[in-house]
């Protein structure tokens, strides 16, 4: 059984291995994203959070998923192009995965088991916070924006 987020791996949107262990010692906000969602403008806040904190050992990790309302129908290349051209996204993105159901990515299965189904993604732009030891410490529903005091204080607390 997995014990930390470091036990999991994604593929980057460019098809390269992206093990969570890459982020050892860093606080990571893992967000399931979608290009055609009412919450899509949160990319702006995620990018700002990344730019303001990337030198302070905080990582934003975007995880495109097409599980809710078919709002991420594109290919990895289309998703990457959309994120970069529309929102200037420079934080790491994974390839498109499933965050629920029978083909759920193992990280999301573990997160739901760790924090309970009540904290599993119910829609796009659900956020998980992983501390520098790989421990899953918080979950935030879609409506909680990256600029919110709730997320900022959780990140600050995680870094203590």
pLDDT (tens digit per residue) in 38-48: 999 999 999 99
Find tokens 């290919």 and name the residue: 75
CA distance 152 to 147: 7
pTM score, two decimals? 0.96
Single out the catalytic residue among 37, 148, 152, 159.
37
For residue 83, indicate whether it is catalytic. Answer: no
CB neighbour list of residue 160: distance below 8 Å, 6 or more residues apart:
none
Which CATH code, of 1.10.287.470, 3.40.50.300, 3.40.30.10, 3.40.50.1980, is assigned to 5-158? 3.40.30.10
Domain boundaries, the chain: 5-158
CA distance 69 to 148: 25
Give pLDDT tens digits for 97-131: 999 999 999 999 999 999 999 999 999 999 999 99
The pairing of beta strand 9-11 with beta strand 17-19:
antiparallel
Residues in the chain: 160
């Amino acid at each position: 059984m997995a014990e930390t987020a470091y036990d999991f791996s994604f593929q980057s949107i460019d098809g390269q291995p992206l093990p969570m262990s890459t982020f050892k010692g860093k606080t990571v906000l893992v967000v399931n994203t979608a290009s055609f969602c009412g919450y899509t403008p949160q990319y702006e806040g995620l990018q700002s959070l990344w730019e303001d904190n990337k030198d302070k050992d905080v990582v934003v990790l975007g995880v495109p998923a097409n599980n809710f309302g078919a709002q991420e129908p594109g290919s990895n290349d289309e998703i990457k192009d959309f994120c970069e051209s529309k929102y200037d996204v420079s934080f790491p993105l994974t390839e498109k995965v499933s965050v629920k159901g029978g083909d759920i990515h193992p990280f999301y299965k573990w997160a739901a088991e760790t924090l309970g189904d009540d904290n599993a993604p119910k829609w796009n732009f659900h956020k998980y916070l992983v501390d520098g030891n790989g421990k899953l410490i918080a979950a935030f529903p879609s409506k909680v924006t990256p600029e919110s005091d709730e997320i900022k204080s959780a990140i600050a607390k995680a870094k203590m």
